C-alpha cells in the first residue's frame, strides 16, 4: 500500500493516488469544492512528477467534481472511464445537474461558493472496457465492469489483489454497516458483487470509506449481499401493505439511517438514492 495514498481533499468523496515507476493515476477525485486541497495533497506526493491519469468509477459529481481543476494543474492528463460515462458528460442536462449538486456541496462542506470552472473540462478522454489493463510501470490496474449503481460503474483491481470496489457493491459506514446503492438495477448489483467476490482480493477499498480492515474483509461481500437483501425485503414488504413511495422512503430512513450515516452523507443524497432504489425494485418486481 506504500504506492497507494489517500489524497482526499475533503468530505463527500474519496480520492486515491497511485504512484507507479513510470506513470501516476488517481482513482476518483472527489468533489469540486475541495479540489485545491486535493491538488496540494497530490503535489506533496508527486514532487516534480506529473499526474498522468484519472480513472473514474462512475459519473456522479462526488467522484468526478475535481476534474476541471486537476486539468488546469496538469493539462496533459487523461481521464479514463466507461463509454456510458463519456456519453453522460456530453449532455447539457447532466453537466447542469453536476454543477448544481457541486454548488450545494460547496455550501454544505466548504462554507463558500464553488470555484469557477469550464464544463468542457468535465469529460472522459479515453473509454476503458471490462478487463482492460492500464500499466503504470510496476503497478497494473485492471478494469472490472460492475454496473448497478450506474450504467457506467467500474471497479479497479490493482496488482491482482487490491480492489477499489465501485459503489454498486455498496459502501461501508464507520459503524461497520454496509449500505446498498443499487440505483439502476438491483439484479445487476447482486451480479457485480459476485464478480468482485470471485476476484478474491486480499485488500478492499470501500467507496466513501477507504481500506477495509482485515477483520471486515473476510465477510465483506456477504455484508454487501445482505444489505441488498434486507433493503429489498423491507421495501417490498411495505409495498405489499399498501404504502406509497413517500411513506416507504420515510420508514426506510427511520429504520436504516443511523448517526454515522447522518454524519457521512447529506440527507438529500440519502433520500435521492433511496428513492431510486425503491423505483428500481418496483420496476424489477
Q: How far apart are CA 229 and CA 137, in angstroms?
A: 41
What count of residues does the chain have? 285
> What tens digit of pLDDT does each residue of 4-18 get?
999 999 988 899 999
pLDDT at position 214 is 87
> What tens digit of pLDDT does each residue of 225-264 get?
999 999 999 999 999 999 999 999 999 999 988 777 777 6
pLDDT at position 192 is 98
User: Long-range contact list for 172-176, CB < 8 A, 24+ apart?
Assistant: 172/206, 172/208, 172/209, 172/212, 172/216, 172/220, 172/223, 173/209, 173/258, 173/260, 173/261, 173/264, 174/209, 174/260, 174/264, 175/258, 175/260, 175/261, 176/216
End-to-end Cα, the chain, rounded Å: 42
pLDDT at position 28 is 98
pLDDT at position 133 is 98
Q: How far apart are CA 152 and CA 24, in angstroms?
A: 23
pLDDT at position 285 is 78
pLDDT at position 108 is 84
Compute the average pLDDT of residues 267-283.
90
pLDDT at position 176 is 83
> What tens digit of pLDDT does each residue of 6-59 get?
999 998 889 999 999 999 999 999 999 999 999 999 999 999 999 999 999 999
- Percentage of the chain exceeding pLDDT 90: 83
Tell me the CB-side half-sphere exposure of residue 15, using CA atoms within 13 A: 33
Q: Are 39 and 30 in contact (CB under 8 A)?
A: no
Task: Please report which confidence band the pLDDT of residue 266 belongs to, taking 50, 70 and 90 as the band edges.
Answer: confident
> What tens digit of pLDDT does each residue of 121-179 get?
999 999 999 999 999 999 999 999 999 999 999 999 999 999 999 999 999 988 888 99
Of 102, 274, 277, 111, the closest CA to residue 188 belongs to 277
pLDDT at position 270 is 84
**How far, CA to CA in Å, does 9 sit from each of 4, 37, 125, 260?**
15, 5, 23, 20
Q: Assign residue 148 a region: left if phi > 0, alpha if psi is -120 to 50, beta otherwise?
A: left
Residue 69 has pLDDT above 80, yes or no: yes
pLDDT at position 257 is 85
Amino acid at each position: 500500500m506504500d504506492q497507494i495514498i489517500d489524497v482526499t481533499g475533503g468530505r463527500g468523496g474519496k480520492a486515491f493516488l497511485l504512484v507507479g515507476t513510470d506513470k501516476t493515476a488517481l482513482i476518483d477525485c472527489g468533489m469540486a469544492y475541495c479540489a485545491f486541497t486535493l491538488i496540494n495533497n497530490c503535489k506533496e506526493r508527486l514532487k516534480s512528477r506529473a499526474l498522468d491519469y484519472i480513472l473514474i468509477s462512475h459519473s456522479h459529481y462526488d467522484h468526478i467534481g475535481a476534474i476541471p481543476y486537476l486539468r488546469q494543474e496538469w493539462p496533459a492528463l487523461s481521464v479514463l472511464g466507461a463509454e456510458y460515462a463519456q456519453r453522460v458528460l456530453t449532455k447539457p442536462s447532466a453537466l447542469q445537474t453536476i454543477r448544481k449538486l457541486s454548488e450545494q456541496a460547496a455550501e454544505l462542506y466548504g462554507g463558500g461558493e464553488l470555484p469557477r470552472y469550464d464544463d468542457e473540462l468535465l469529460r472522459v478522454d479515453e473509454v476503458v472496457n471490462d478487463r482492460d489493463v492500464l500499466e503504470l510501470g510496476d503497478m497494473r490496474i485492471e478494469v472490472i465492469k460492475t454496473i448497478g449503481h450506474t450504467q457506467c460503474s467500474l471497479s479497479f483491481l490493482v496488482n491482482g489483489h487490491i480492489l477499489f470496489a465501485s459503489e454498486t457493491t455498496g459502501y461501508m459506514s464507520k459503524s461497520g454497516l454496509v449500505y446498498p446503492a443499487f440505483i439502476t438495477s438491483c439484479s445487476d448489483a447482486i451480479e457485480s458483487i459476485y464478480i468482485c467476490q470471485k476476484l478474491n482480493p486480499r485488500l478492499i477499498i470501500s467507496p466513501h470509506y477507504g481500506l477495509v480492515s482485515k477483520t471486515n474483509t473476510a465477510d465483506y461481500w456477504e455484508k454487501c449481499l445482505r444489505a441488498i437483501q434486507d433493503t429489498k425485503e423491507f421495501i417490498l414488504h411495505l409495498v405489499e401493505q399498501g404504502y406509497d413511495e413517500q411513506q416507504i422512503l420515510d420508514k426506510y430512513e427511520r429504520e436504516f439511517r443511523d448517526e454515522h450515516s447522518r454524519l457521512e452523507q447529506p440527507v438529500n443524497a440519502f433520500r435521492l438514492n433511496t428513492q431510486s432504489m425503491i423505483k428500481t425494485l418496483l420496476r424489477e418486481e
